Amino acid sequence: MPDFDFKQYHYRSINAASDAERAAINQELKDMYAALPDEEKETFNRVLQAFLAKEMGRLKSNYESMQGSGGAN
């Protein structure tokens, strides 16, 4: 099973200098997906969904902790 390192793409996208750079990073992911054999596309989607759920949970937790501290920032 291939190792999909979505974190590197996520961090690159966060730190992108422009919308064009962010779009190029997203295109890299689309190209990677398109190049996968069909049997690996399901794994790609499952791993991506798990990464996104984990990341969204982390962001929600950070947001809630900031709100709990009076929201000052």
* pLDDT one-digit tens code per residue, 9-50: 999 999 999 999 999 999 999 999 999 999 999 999 999 999
The candidate with the shortest Cα–Cα distance to 6, out of 62, 60, 50, 64, is 50
Local structure of 36: helix, strand or coil: coil
What pLDDT score was predicted for residue 27? 97
How sure is the predictor about 61, in pLDDT bands with cuts at 50, 70 and 90? confident
- Greater confidence (33 vs 1) lies with 33
The position carrying tokens 């794994």 is 43
Count of residues in the chain: 73
Is pTM beyond 0.75 here?
no
